[in-house]
Structure 1
Amino acid sequence: MTRIWVVRHGQSMLNAAERMQGWSDAPLTALGQDQATERGRDFAAAGITFDVAFSGDGIRHRETAARLLVAAGSDLQPTSDPRWRELCFGRLEAVRARKFVRLMQAHVAADNPFFATLDALAAEDPLAESPADVARRATEALHDVASAGSEVLVVTSGITILTLLHGLGADLSHLTIGPENLSVSTVRRIDDGWRVDRAAMPDPVAV
């Protein structure tokens, strides 16, 4: 049985500036570095030993994975994969997050105003990705890492995590905003299917 630990990256400089990040990139802040180290210590305390590690190809993903692994007592080097990138916001890359919040007002009647806004952006901006686009590439990557070991670490981004878990049928009703930095989700590969045991939980690792 394969267990995949899907972790959101630590706080980046663009997170701290409250800007849309997407494919734009920025290093971790000092807080983000501490978050990654602390989560690695949580894994070590829980006795989790990773067989292999993957991350998105952004500096915030790679730096989080590297710091987490060191703190967890692992000598693994994470393999970066662009399929674990965040959703691309197109022309909204790096804009103030409050602009996106204003755009959501046009979709408040939708079942999921957040996803509806992203779908609308993708429909009018050829550079932007839709949640379905991200779910497809993340699910493909998930299938690939499932054969890499029994305990697998993946460091990725918030919307990528949301779209992946949503596609796997996870209950996300506890999330009033996106996943917190260094939140942890666990997905198990069971026979030909998937089971989500934890969905973007901010508390220390529980096995």
Structure 2
Amino acid sequence: MLHLYIARHGQTQWNVEKRMQGWMDSDLTELGLYNACALGERLKDIELNQVYISPSKRTEETAKNVLGSRRPPLVIDHMFREMSLGSWEGKKQEDIERDEPDLFRTYFHYPEAYRQQGSETFFDFENRVRLALQTILDSHASGNVLLVTHSVFILMLLNIIKGRRINDIWNSAYIHDTSLSLVEFDENGTAEIIIEGDGKHRKPISAF
């Protein structure tokens, strides 16, 4: 049995400012760092055989704080990056919604129809996430694997596992910073989602 633990990176400054990140980056906040350490405490008794992360600074910093003194094998690969958002990256959502209302609505309500120059389509993104998942499954028939990645990546990954269409990607629980999902794969590759977007280890924003 393969246990795939899937975590989103910690809260970033751009998350606070409600800026779209995509392949661009911003620093973790104090809360983001705290919750990454809290997730590490939650997973401290899990013997991790492998860790996969995207090359984004926010995922690297999150993984570092989750792992603490532990040193499991670590793979950093671009296939685990967030969806590319082209010219939207670094912009506030409210500004995008004001300046490009039709495209903004398409992104969140009709993702199969979303097209933006310099951005991945959801179809291209889905193919990349499928490849990323298959890479993990080809490398691990059993054990405990941790994937530290991004919110839309996680939503797409779970959407694929659920066997749903791209247009269903937003019809899932919100993936908060450092939230944890767990998917188990049996020897036949059959998947079962055990935990989805759980954040019981997280300290609320009001505490900061």
Query: TM class, shorter-chain normalised?
Result: 0.7 to 0.9
* Equivalent residue pairs, number: 193
Mapping 1:1-207, distance limit 5 Å? 1-44=1-44, 47-70=45-68, 74-76=70-72, 78-101=74-97, 114=108, 116=110, 118-121=111-114, 123=115, 125-146=116-137, 147-148=139-140, 150-169=143-162, 173=171, 175=173, 178-190=174-186, 191-204=188-201
166-175 vs 78-87, which deviates more? 166-175
| Matched AA of 2:154 | I
Q: Tell me the percent identity.
A: 25
Gapped regions of structure 1 (runs ≥ 5):
none
Offset, 1:131: 2.4
Q: Distance in 2 between matches of 1:201 and 1:101?
A: 29
Q: 1:120–1:38: structure 2 CA closer, same or farther, 3 Å change rule?
A: same
Aligned CA RMSD, in angstroms, stands at: 2.5
131-140 vs 14-23, which deviates more? 131-140
Instruction: Tell me the TM-score normalised to structure 1 length.
Output: 0.82
Offset, 1:169: 1.0
| Matched AA of 2:156 | T
Q: 1:151–1:59: structure 2 CA closer, same or farther, 3 Å change rule?
A: same
SS in 1 for 2:39: helix
74-83 vs 11-20, which deviates more? 74-83
Q: 1:101–1:167: structure 2 CA closer, same or farther, 3 Å change rule?
A: farther
Q: Distance in 2 between matches of 1:12 and 1:49?
A: 28
Q: Distance in 1 between matches of 2:9 and 2:28?
A: 9
Q: Distance in 1 between matches of 2:195 and 2:90?
A: 30
Q: 1:199–1:16: structure 2 CA closer, same or farther, 3 Å change rule?
A: same
Gapped regions of structure 2 (runs ≥ 5):
165-169, 203-208
Q: 1:143–1:79: structure 2 CA closer, same or farther, 3 Å change rule?
A: same
| Matched AA of 2:32 | G
